[in-house]
Structures are given as structure tokens and as C-alpha cells.
Amino acid sequence: MFKLSRKTITSLFLVAFLVLLVHFFSPFFKNSAQGTLKPHLVLINLIKRELSGMIFYHRNMMDSGRLRYENENLRRRLFDLREVEQENLRLKNLLNFKQRSPYRLVPARVIARSPDSWSSSVIIDKGRYSGIRRGMAVVNTQGLIGRVAETSVSLSKVLLINDPSQGVSSIVQSSRQEGLVNGSLGSNLIMRYLPDEAQIAPGDTIITSELSQVYPKGLLVGTVINVGKEFSGLSRYAMVKPAAELSSVEEVLVIIP
Amino acid sequence: MKKLLVFICPLVLAIIQLSWPPALSVFNVKPDLLFAFSVSLVFYLDFRIILAAAVFSGLLKDAFLPQALAVNTLLFAVWSYLAYRICSQVSTENNYIRASVVLILALLNNAATGVYLIKTGSIIPAGIFLRSLVLASLYTVLAAPLMFKLIKKISA
């Protein structure tokens, strides 16, 4: 017969009590730990940025020249596009299109990254005080970044789109084919549940779909780099390169609906 | 003072781990300094301090992760206990043996974390799972000798 000594039973009760205690008190500890470490993380982030500015001076100088040239070109294009925009507005008014209200964007800076290798998340320096709430979409100028997973008063945790627990309802911009873009911890994303006859090819642009409950429609997710068949043979999948550089994201914009 | 330092070190290591430069990450994998520290404590200090420091390190790590359950707090405590039991059975005078213990426990820790994520619905391809498991464990072991030196100084 399997017998347990009094000491073992006491130890097991103690362990169970500790587990409950940890689970109950961890949210309180989370807030105070985040609050304590925030100023240090901000300072280290600042030093890191300044140091990398000095170390990569030449590369930054070349980038600056290239960006200035690109900026001039874009300014010219913007001027042309303004004309198109005006025309579009006039036509929309003529067709009585309901104007969608513009989103409010809250800019934030990334101050820390995920402490382990099994999740892909960043911590930003804005929280509930700035109007950020759980579930809000996060973008940068390149494209979709992720969604807010947790908020405190002055910090928020953002789950990046390459986290394995993330799924973004998306469509292929050209063919309007729907699919689910999943993160995989790697540098690329996987678009799943594509039917065999789906019109999708390398180079196609993937944007968020209106079926998504979290992300607004039309946000740029990435570009298809490879299309393959699922192991089951019933559907296809596509490897998607994220539009945003997720491993080195520094500034983000939180979309407040 | 010794006890205080044991609890200050995880704070400093957490800051380093959170602001780890992407250029030093290998395939998006970074060393788990908090884990290496909490396991390395076993070779030099008393069990009660080890357990308290392991729980504190786990709590710190969980505070900056998006998961709801404090998985690392529990896992760190379990690995510290396991390391303590191993040390009572095997001679760990040599740094290579200590590093081997850290490697085995890092592999177990990463495997447990990966399996937990898969069980909660995350989709991780097998190749990336193995890559994260092996690389993260090896990278953590690379940091272990520094932890041995640091803890040796604290315990002296």
C-alpha cells in the first residue's frame, strides 16, 4: 500500500499553498516590479540608443543621405496625391459614402523586450493614463506590429504578430482571399486555412480583414514570400514576411478606436 | 548584506535581460540570465535563500511576460529544488559539472515552457521549437560561468 508520511503530506500542503499564494499575489507584484524597473529601463534604452548612434555613425550618415533623397521624392508624390485625394473626396461625397472616423494614434517608445525566447512581446512606455486599453491594435509606419496584451498605469505589454499565440484575420489584397496569419516565433509569419484554389502568389500583399475583431481593416501585415501545401493536403499555407521589422522595433503607434 | 545582494542581483539581471540588444540575439534567442542565476545559487548558498531567490527571480520574469499564470515562478522553484537534490547526490566541485547541471535544467525548463505554450493553443513549428529549445539552453549555459563568479563573490 502506498503510504505518505506526515512530513511529506505537510510539504505537499505547503507547496500547494505556495502555488495559490503566488498565483494570488503575482498581479500585485507585477505592477510594483514594473513600476520599479521602468526608470532604469528608460535610462538604459536612452544610453543604448546614444551608443548605437555613435558606433554606427557612418551607417547613419549614409542612411540620412538616402532618406533625405527619398523624402524629397515622397514630398513630390504627396503633392500629386493630394490632388487625387481631393478628387476622391469629391466623388465620395457625391456617392454619399459614409466617412469613417479617423483613428486616434498614441505614439509610444519600446523600452524593453520579452525576457524569454518563447514569446515575442515588447513593453512600451505608455499605459492606461494615455488611454491605452487591452486589445488595442499597435502599428508603426511600416505596418502592423501587434496588439496590447496587458496595461498598467504607465506601461503596456504588446504581443507582437510573430508570437505563436497570435492570429490575425487577413486577406490577400489583390484577390481578397481570406486566411489566418499566425506567428511562429521565427522571423516570418504563416498564413493558414487557404483553400487549394486560392489565388495567392509570392509578392502578394497581405492586409487585415474586416472580420478581425481586434485590428481595423486594411492594415498592412506583410508580403507573401512562399506558398506551400499543408501536410494534410487539404489546404495551402503561405509564408509571409512581416512589413514591420519586428526584431528591432523602437517606436510604435497605438490605435485608439 | 549577503542576503540583500542575492535579491538585488536578479533586479539588475532582469534589467539586462529586458534590454538585451537584438544584435546579440541568435535567431531571436537570448540567454535566460535569471534562470542561470537562480540555478547557480544552489552551488554556493543555503537552500532557504536559494528557494526565496528562485521564487523572486521567477516572479520578476513573469512580471514582464504576457502570460496570465506565473509559470516561471513555479518552474524556477522546482528547478532550484531539483538542482539542490542533484548537488546532494553528485559532486559539483568542478565548473564543467556545474555547467552541465545548468544545461540539463535549462533544457528541461525550455521544454516545459514550450510544451506549456503548445498546450495553451500556440502554434510552434517543430523546427522552431527545437531551435529555441537547444539554442536558448546553450546560450543560457554560456552565461553560467559569469553567474558562478558573481555568486562566489557574493557568498565569500
Q: pLDDT tens digits for A8-29?
A: 778 777 877 877 777 777 777 7
CB-CB contact of A194 with A200 (8 Å) = yes
Query: For A184, which of B32, B74, B123 is closest by C-beta distance?
Result: B123
Residues A190-227 have pLDDT tens digits of 998 888 888 888 888 899 988 877 888 888 899 999 88
Flag if B64 and A149 touch (Cβ within 8 Å): no
Structure confidence at residue A114 (pLDDT): 84
The verdict on B65 touching A (C-beta cutoff 8 Å) is yes
The CA-CA-CA angle for residues A201, A207, A210, to 5°, reads 125
* Residue at grid coordinates 538585488: B8
Query: For B74, which of A22, A118, A190 is closest by C-beta distance?
Result: A22
Q: What is the pTM of this model?
A: 0.75
Structure confidence at residue A102 (pLDDT): 64
Among A24, A55, A118, most B C-beta atoms within 10 A, so best to mutate, is A118
This complex has an ipTM of 0.80
CB-CB contact of B152 with B44 (8 Å) = yes
CB-CB contact of B36 with B143 (8 Å) = yes
In this predicted structure, which of A113-122, B13-22, B64-73 has the lowest mean pLDDT?
B64-73
Among B11, B12, B19, B76, most A C-beta atoms within 10 A, so best to mutate, is B19
- Alpha-carbon gap: B151 to the closest alpha carbon of chain A (Å): 21
Query: For B132, which of A113, A115, A118 is closest by C-beta distance?
Result: A118
Torsion angles phi and psi, residue B84, rounded to 5? -65, -40
Collapse the DSSP code of A159 into the 3-class scheme (helix H, G, I; strand E, B; otherwise coil) and give the result. Answer: strand
**Position A86 pLDDT exceeds 80:** no
Q: How far apart are CA A148 and CA B147, in angstroms?
A: 34
Residues B19-30 have pLDDT tens digits of 888 888 888 888
Q: How far apart are CA A182 and CA B148, in angstroms?
A: 40
**Position B111 pLDDT exceeds 90:** yes
Structure confidence at residue A4 (pLDDT): 66
Structure confidence at residue A140 (pLDDT): 85
- Alpha-carbon gap: A79 to the closest alpha carbon of chain B (Å): 38
Q: How far apart are CA B147 and CA A160, in angstroms?
A: 31
Q: How far apart are CA A226 and CA A222, in angstroms?
A: 12
Q: How far apart are CA B8 and CA A66, in angstroms?
A: 46
Dig out the grid coordinates for A51 from the structure.
Answer: 551608443
CB-CB contact of A247 with A187 (8 Å) = yes
Residues 6+ apart with CB under 8 A from B62: A26, A30, B70, B71, B72, B73
Structure confidence at residue B141 (pLDDT): 93
Contacts with B65 from chain A: Cβ below 8 Å: 114-116, 119, 121, 157
